[in-house]
Structure 1
Amino acid sequence: MTVRNALVVRGGWDGHVPVAATELFIPFLRERGFAVEVHDDLAVYTDSDRMADADLVVQCWSIGTVTDEQAAGLIAAVRAGTGFAGWHGGIVGAFHHNAYQQLTGGVFVHHPPGFVDHELTVLPSRADHPVVRGVGTVALHTEKYWVLTDPLNDVLATVTFEPGPEPGTATGPDGADAPWRRPVTLPAVWTREWGAGRVFVSTVGHKLDDLTLPPIRMITERGLLWAARQI
């Protein structure tokens, strides 16, 4: 079996349980032939040799600060062919850094207070994509992310925000009814190519229960493999 290299980079806000969340997927990566190296410091992004050797970077780092040098190292590696993947705030709520957000193709802006019941829906036009094949809709009770995204993303699945007084669904930060005049559908799972590299993002994964839900776990595992060009 060909050995591939994966870097797991985790840290930042503890509320997204970066250690426990990434530990869910490390055995899977090893079973699929990856040599996994774990980093609790963003300094690895400035190590050009290590980044060049990586087939995949799995990042779970929320509400942190990345330096220009660190962001440039990560971006250069992805543009040269390293895969980049993550979920929830660990990837789209990680850093307020323009070049990094351009790499991920999206940024978290808002979620309704608390955990809300909603559905993740795979787009019928993308039903044959290897990341979401066999998945239709997934019932969730967790944070629902409102994100700004790049139109060039390949959106695989979406969530919908409803207007009006539906309890706990799409209220504003002050608890008022959502101001949208009609339902708003936003990307929730997407892939993109950046230079020679692949990027996978899922907005689902605030808590371990989300990531262990069978269809979400499957989508996430497949996303890691897709970013590493293994499917």
Structure 2
Amino acid sequence: MTDASSPPSRRALVVRGGWEGHSPVRITDLFLPFLEEHGFTIETAESLDVYGDADRLAATDLVVHCWTMGQIAPEQSRTLAAAVRAGTGFAGWHGGIIDSFRGDLDYHLLTGGQFLMHPPGFVDHTVHIVPERADHPVVAGLADFAVHTEQYWVATDPDIDILATTTFPAGEERDHPVVMPTVWTRTYGAGKVFVSTIGHKADDFDVPEVRTLTERGLLWASK
């Protein structure tokens, strides 16, 4: 029996699928206990049909999206964007959020970024917390940290709040180092969006800073 004085739980919808190389079920499962501990009732969906249900999305506080590549129907894309614009949070990591639905411009306007390429294999690189944003709740108290994983080159919207970056060294294609966004947030109407480019493989989240900023990002994005 539920205590009438208990606050109502929040609702999280975890949408996962697409290319299996990003282990959408295995990796999203890492975060289900965390969300439950923070008062979320969790529903998982392994079909994009859920994005066509406006009432369901309106009743959702947080959508965790992990769907690499694939195609989304125009009506599903519009319904999802409208829900976030009205206040539903939207969050994810790596190709599960910014290598989804490459042909859908409305979706890319929602996320604020799109994966373009990464150097072959996994590379050692450093994630730098943007000093001016060091007090943001997603990265507060975190120092720069090292990872060994894919390093994403992305195209981003100028209207995002960049919290962390990584630097690509000069090389054959470029004659100077390039600083690239790697963690960002944005507002989208009344909704909030969190994106991290880190998370190709499950052990990426064994890095304490990666796990921490991802968990915080999920909470930040929620209603």
Q: Quickly name the TM-score band, shorter chain normalised.
A: over 0.9
In structure 1, give the amino acid aligned to 2:156: T
In structure 2, give the amino acid aligned to 1:198: K
In structure 1, give the amino acid aligned to 2:184: W
In structure 1, give the amino acid aligned to 2:48: L
Hey, what's the Cα distance between the residues in 2 that align with 1:42 and 1:213?
30
SS of aligned partner of 2:100: coil
Match for 1:22 among 11, 21, 28?
Answer: 28
* C-alpha deviation, 1:190, in angstroms: 0.2
SS of aligned partner of 2:57: helix
Hey, what's the Cα distance between the residues in 2 that align with 1:38 and 1:27?
13
Q: What is the CA deviation profile of residues 32-64 of structure 1, one whole-angstrom value per residue up to 9, with x for unaligned ones?
A: 000000000000011111100000000000011
Aligned to 1:85: 91
Hey, what's the Cα distance between the residues in 1 that align with 2:206 and 2:60?
26
Hey, what's the Cα distance between the residues in 1 that align with 2:153 and 2:101?
16
Hey, what's the Cα distance between the residues in 1 that align with 2:68 and 2:90?
15
1:215 aligns with 2:209: yes
* C-alpha deviation, 1:124, in angstroms: 0.6
Aligned to 2:113: 106
1:201 aligns with 2:195: yes
* C-alpha deviation, 1:2, in angstroms: 2.9
Unaligned runs of 5+ in 2: 1-6
Aligned to 1:185: 179
Q: What is the CA deviation profile of residues 117-138 of structure 1, one whole-angstrom value per residue up to 9, with x for unaligned ones?
A: 0001100101000000111211
Hey, what's the Cα distance between the residues in 2 that align with 1:72 and 1:51?
12
SS of aligned partner of 1:61: strand
Aligned pairs for 1:116-195 (under 5 A) are 116-164=123-171, 177=172, 179-195=173-189
* C-alpha deviation, 1:213, in angstroms: 1.5
RMSD, aligned α-carbons: 0.7
How many residue pairs align between the two structures? 216
